[in-house]
Amino acid sequence: MEIKKIAVLGAGQMGNGIAHVCAQAGYQVKMRDIEQKFIDKAMDTIRKNLERGLKKGKITEEEVEETVGRVEGTLSLDDAVKDADLVIEAVPEIVDLKLKTWKEVDEKAPEHAILASNTSSISITQMASVTKTPERFVGMHFFNPVPVMKLVEIIKGAATSDETVDAIEQVSEKLGKETVLVNEAPGFAVNRLLVPAINEAIFAIQEGVATVEDMDKAIKLGLNWPMGPLTLADFVGLDTLLYISDYFVEEFKDSKYRAPALLRKMVRAGWVGRKAGKGFYDYSGEKPEPLTF
């Protein structure tokens, strides 16, 4: 079956990036969120990010307009999924919310639709189990910023069929991405390493080992990371990191994955990183200013 229509659930940081790359690859996209202001913001972000390429002469104005024109925002889940060939869910990383969303999608999406979650850590098998077609359920994990990052992790749940994996490999290739196939495990391949590494940097800040600026500089220059771990934490979102850490502790039953108290405190304060204007850096000025802890 050829995939033509894609529903993207959630218009946040990941959702708008996924909608962007799908539309740019020629798919018809319906992007769903629960408030119009989230959809408006996502449409603005998609246009701005496409215009980066326009300024550099990598795409034409016509291509920008065509891509934006292939994304339709909607507040209705029914409208988003009713004729979708592929549903990609990118709602916040909260188990109950994901399960509730998938139960609703299962009632409204066509029988043939492939169901893919962009979860960063949660069990594919658990989400698949609330649908009637677990063989068509798969993990399709993108990385931020989606238009730039080359990887899609494809995650196989207990019942995911080879045909479903093949279909996602083909879509990913059409999006210009490379794929790796991972068997289900909390955090899959990338976040299993990334989240403990970022947490360790936060523990080091908490213990006064180095300043935010120096910790970032050390890892950037010492390990050749494109961003230091605290800049990356702000970029990913501290709320997402905390959800993943708590989920790891619950799933692995191992306290080595515990979140630093500082991370939890910052999330409680709403300082969740770049999207909030404040995290380990303050983004209110022209240039991010590191905070002191």
CB of 110 to ligand CAA, least distance (A): 28
**Is-cis flag, bond preceding 145, omega within 30?**
yes
Is residue 3 near ligand CAA by the rule CB under 6 A? no
Please list every residue from 149 through 168 that binds ligand CAA, using CB under 6 A.
149
In one-letter notation, the amino acid at residue 53 is: G
Q: Which of 191, 199, 213, 245 is catalytic?
A: 191
Quick count: other Cβ atoms within 10 Å of Cβ 151? 14
DSSP-derived 3-state class of residue 202: helix
Q: At what angle do helices 13-24 and 61-69 cross, to 10 degrees?
A: 120
| Type and span of the H or E element at 5 | strand 5-9
Please list every residue from 206 through 265 that binds ligand CAA, using CB under 6 A.
226-227, 232, 236, 240
DSSP-derived 3-state class of residue 158: coil
Is residue 21 near ligand CAA by the rule CB under 6 A? no
Is residue 143 near ligand CAA by the rule CB under 6 A? yes
Listed in sequence order, the residues at least 6 apart from 99 whose beta carbon sits closer than 8 Å to its beta carbon are 126, 127, 130
Is residue 189 near ligand CAA by the rule CB under 6 A? no
> In the annotation, is 191 catalytic?
yes
Is residue 52 near ligand CAA by the rule CB under 6 A? yes
| One character per residue 113-142, x = contact with ligand CAA (rule: CB under 6 A) | -------x----------------------
Residues in the chain, total = 293
| One character per residue 55-74, x = contact with ligand CAA (rule: CB under 6 A) | -x------------------
Cα angle 247-243-109, degrees, rounded to a multiple of 5: 90
Is residue 191 near ligand CAA by the rule CB under 6 A? yes
Listed in sequence order, the residues at least 6 apart from 175 whose beta carbon sits closer than 8 Å to its beta carbon are 21, 22, 25, 152
With respect to ligand CAA, which residue has the nearer C-beta, 17 or 84?
17
Q: Contact with ligand CAA (CB under 6 A): which of 47, 72, 74, 145?
A: 145
> In the annotation, is 35 catalytic?
no
Which residues form the interface with ligand CAA (CB under 6 A)? 49, 52, 56, 120, 143-145, 147-149, 191, 194, 226-227, 232, 236, 240
